[in-house]
Amino acid sequence: MIDVSKRNNVRVIGEGNQSIILAHGFGCSQNVWRHFVTAYKDKFKLILFDFVGAGQSDLSAYDSKRYSTLDGYAKDVLEIIEALHLKNTIFIGHSVSCMVGVKAAILQPTYFSKLIFVSPSPYYINDQDYKGGLEKEDLINLLALMDSNYLGWSSFIAPQVMGNPNQPELGEELTANFCATDPDIAKEFARVTFLSDNRADLEKLPIQSLTLQCQDDILAPLEVGYFIEQKAKDNTLKILKATGHCPHLSAPEETIAVINAYLHLPE
């Protein structure tokens, strides 16, 4: 039997009746949610975890076939929820994890009450009238650079993804996170992340959702937020003043305040 807790380094914090599962994005770990832990640990039961290959996850559990699509990561989320006997969970995902949450909710809608997307994108590549943010040729070149020099690629791309050059320590943190991720797994996860087209899944989502979209996000332009709002049933779009791709780190107070309003929490 799979030890899900060990595989994904699952941690449960807080004693609230309502559970929130926090899913980090590519190249990160559960530590990126530290501001959320501080804000919510007295109100909710928080479930933190690392995707296999990230943080303190069990690297021996990585299976290239299972994780060749986002479906494998969605199964991990469902198995964590099942192991903890959770129902009606609030799912908060960042970046690629937003679509992981969508896939999980389509498979098991009763496990979730709401989905909250932080800087989501169903498809990162420009495609006719769809503006995903990246040209396919540029993305292929970035992936080739990652293959040839992962550490150099991390140092180059992480500060651009983070944005907020006035907070250089955040770019350095993201670079360190990228570099701490197993390189071979990261290369495969990057391809799954950036080449997957999950646009059709949005119309199948049966759970209400909130989209938090940032200004000047090189990976998820504002058009992506409007696309999700249009395609996902019962989706609420909020455009943040925050810039970059990681508002939970660069602008946690604003990000948490918008989520609080959506969840009807007292200020």
Residue 131 lies in a domain: yes
Task: Give me the residues of the chain with pLDDT under 50, please.
Answer: none
For the four alpha carbons of 131, 137, 143 and 145, in that order, the dihedral sign comes to negative
* HEC readout, 172-190: HHHHHHHHHCCHHHHHHHH
Token representation of residue 169? 């320590």
* HEC readout, 138-181: HHHHHHHHHHHCHHHHHHHHHHHHHCCCCCHHHHHHHHHHHHHC
Q: 81 is in which domain, residue-wise?
A: 4-262
Q: Is 84 helix (H, G, I), strand (E, B) or coil?
A: coil
Side-chain-facing half-sphere of 51: CA atoms under 13 Å: 31
Mean pLDDT score of the chain: 93
Q: What is the CATH number of the domain that holds 114?
A: 3.40.50.1820
Residue 200 lies in a domain: yes
Comparing CA positions, the residue from 1, 21, 19 lying closest to residue 10 is 21
Q: What is the pLDDT of residue 256?
A: 97
Q: What is the pLDDT of residue 79?
A: 97
| The pairing of beta strand 112-118 with beta strand 19-23 | unpaired
Domain count, the chain: 1
Contact at 8 Å (CB) between 222 and 250? no
Residue 177 lies in a domain: yes
Region of residue 54 (phi > 0: left; psi between -120 and 50: alpha; otherwise: beta): beta
- Report the alpha-carbon angle 105-106-108, nearest 5: 60
**What is the C-alpha to C-alpha distance for residues 201 and 36, in angstroms, rounded to an integer?**
27
Q: What is the pLDDT of residue 149?
A: 85
Residue 233 lies in a domain: yes
| pTM assigned to the model | 0.95
Active site residues: 95, 217, 245
Residue whose entry in the numeric block shows the structure tokens 């299972």: 66
**What is the C-alpha to C-alpha distance for residues 50 and 128, in angstroms, rounded to an integer?**
35
**Beta strands per DSSP E along the chain:** 11-13, 19-23, 45-48, 89-94, 112-118, 209-215, 235-243
Q: What is the pLDDT of residue 1?
A: 63
Query: Alpha carbon of 103 to those of 77, 96, 134: distances in Å?
Result: 10, 11, 23
* Contacts (Cβ under 8 Å, ≥6 apart) of 180: 29, 55
Residue 267 lies in a domain: no
Residue 105 lies in a domain: yes
